[in-house]
Amino acid sequence: MRIEDLLRRNAIGRPGDTALICDERTMTWHELDEAANRLANALRQLGYRPQERVAVVLSNCHHIPVSYFGLWKANLVNVAISTRLTEPEVRRILVHSGASAVICEGPVAVAAAAGVETVRHVFTVDGSVGGATPMSELTAGTRADDPPVLGTGDDLRSIRYTSGTTGRPKGCMATHAQQLASVSNFLIEVPPPREGPTFLSVPMTLGVGAFYLTAASYLGVPLLIRQRFRPDAFLADVERYGVAHAFLVPTMLVDLAARLAGESVPPPRTLRLVGYGGAPVSWATVRAVTAGLGCELYQGLGATEAGGYATLLTPDDHRWLLARPSPSPVVPVGRPAAYARARIDGEDGRELPPGETGELRLRSASTFSGYWCQPEETREALRDGWLSLGDVAWRDERGYIYLVDRKQGVIRSGSQNVYAAEVEAVLLSCPGVRRAAAVGVADERFGESVKALVVTEPDGGPSEADLIAYCAERLASHKRPRSVEFVADLPVDEGGKVRRAVLAELLKGGL
């Protein structure tokens, strides 16, 4: 089975039902299916062969689902690229992936494709830009019926480049079967409601975009897509469209919690379930959102290489944990999802018992196939069939997994390891702190010491002395920040994770 089979089923079984809502535009399942068919047939007429790579460089709009389904129907491989990347960054991915075509908006991607030997065509969704062919012209007059089935579930569906928080991005290869296995895991553990749309304003060029498009197609519910997240606009969308399920990255969750705490907001009538993930979240934020929205929450660990949720913290898990004292100021990423396994290994490669910190390793049917044209990196990530991403974690007696940090995010202070995420978890639990990052700075005595970069709530927050005292009560002496700098914001990627490489460069320049 392939992902586009879900679209085909809905186009036959519920043709007039709404499939997409985006910028006041709606598409039915029949309209989405026909638009995808036209794109697939047009590309086949131009001579594109199965498994060629086509880059999609678009911000959130209805063209993304059309492009994804159209490429899959033609058995082409989607290379999704963020519109936030610069021209050199886009060009690097086009060259590395060997992309044959580009579907894009605006001049950046058009310019990036110029001179890339493998690129035969550039198609734009916003008219003619720099000599590129408008998508409307490409699909005009093409057939709207299904092209012949050209592949199997084991074919590549995407090469998605990692966000590069620790270095240059790598291309993660994933098949149709892996995506469907991941979505099945999710639907078994956290069955979303079918009574209304799923809301998504995370960039659809991220892995969660294709994931929730697949999940919505599986359920036959509309996907409501927004370009950006604003708490008031989100609450208005919930009321207007009867949104039943939403996925938010932690920065959105924090902003929503602040909005709900600002004044009395009646709980939305239709919202039943909110998912979150991508970066650490404090229990205070979870409690504020739970109380303000009156709905259930879930989260999980879903790295690009994992192909989706390898672990899940279900609504039942949230209820159980919220009723008890937590051993950590941040929420665990859950327990292994159905048909997935997780282990914590020590330096010698042996599995550690509960309570001990080591490297998190994962195994499931949704694990990626490897990094495009990078065999050494693939072997390092997939040792003995287990996925290793450099995440440092521990698990408790009930199997809940708590992320501590990434191996690359270790601060070495006085010959002892300090995990930045552990410090950040304490900082985030302090009232008045909206966002925080812990970094290592040169220290004549200890080699490195911990410095906290903090964004406070708009109505004020703790002082430097308050924060240092707060941490002193909760962290060992070598882990405590020795200085605090208050900043307007922190550099984060589209998934809400602090971009440590960018932060390091900013620190070199004096922030």
CATH code of the domain containing 136: 3.40.50.980
Helices (H) and strands (E) in the chain, counts: 16, 27
Tell me: the pLDDT tens digits for 250-262?
Answer: 889 988 998 988 7
Token digits of residue 285 = 């934020």
What pLDDT is attached to residue 150? 80
CATH number for 470: 3.30.300.30
In a domain, residue 128? The reply is yes
The residue out of 118, 136, 151 marking a domain boundary is 151
The widest CA-to-CA distance across the chain, in whole angstroms, is 72
pLDDT in tens, 420-475: 887 898 899 999 999 999 998 877 667 678 999 999 998 889 999 999 999 998 88
Are 111 and 130 within 8 A, CB to CB?
A: yes
Of all residues in the chain, the percent with pLDDT exceeding 90 is: 72
**Domain-located, residue 381:** no
**Rounded to a whole number, what is the distance in angstroms from the first to the last CA of the chain?**
50
DSSP conformation letters of 312-339? EE-HHHHHHHHTS--SSSB---BEEPTT
Average pLDDT over residues 111-118: 96
Is residue 129 included in any domain, yes or no?
yes
Q: What is the pLDDT of residue 485?
A: 95
Q: Is residue 294 part of a domain?
A: no
pLDDT digits (tens, 9 = 90+) for 21-68: 998 899 999 999 999 999 999 999 999 999 999 999 999 999 999 999
- Nearest partner of 247 among 221, 271, 220, judged by Cα: 271
Give the pLDDT confidence of 160-181 residue by residue, as tens digits: 998 544 456 799 999 999 999 9
Structure tokens belonging to residue 426: 């304490």
Choose among 248, 196, 202, 244: nearest CA to 225: 202
Residue 28 lies in a domain: yes
Q: Is residue 481 part of a domain?
A: yes
Pair of tokens at residue 420 = 């930045």
Segment 88-94 shows an average pLDDT of 92
Q: Which residues make Cβ contacts (< 8 Å) with residue 214, sequence separation at least 6? A: 3, 6, 179, 180, 183
Q: How far apart are CA 306 and CA 299, in angstroms?
A: 15
User: Residue 206 falls within a domain, yes or no?
Assistant: no
**Is pLDDT of 327 > 70?**
yes
Burial (CB count <10 Å: 0-12, 13-18, 19+), residue 350: exposed
463: CB partners within 8 A, 6+ apart: none
Residue 415 reports pLDDT greater than 60: no
State the pLDDT at residue 165. 44
Q: Evaluate whether residue 273 is within a structural domain.
A: no
Each residue of 265-275: pLDDT tens digit? 788 999 999 99
Instruction: Domain count for the chain, please give it.
Output: 2
Domain finish residue from 125, 151, 177 = 151
Expressed as residue numbers, the domain containing 492 is: 407-508
pLDDT tops 50 at residue 117 = yes
Sign of CA dihedral 317, 341, 216, 78: positive
Last residue of a domain, one of 151, 182, 214: 151
Q: pTM of the entire structure?
A: 0.84
Task: State the average pLDDT for the chain.
Answer: 91
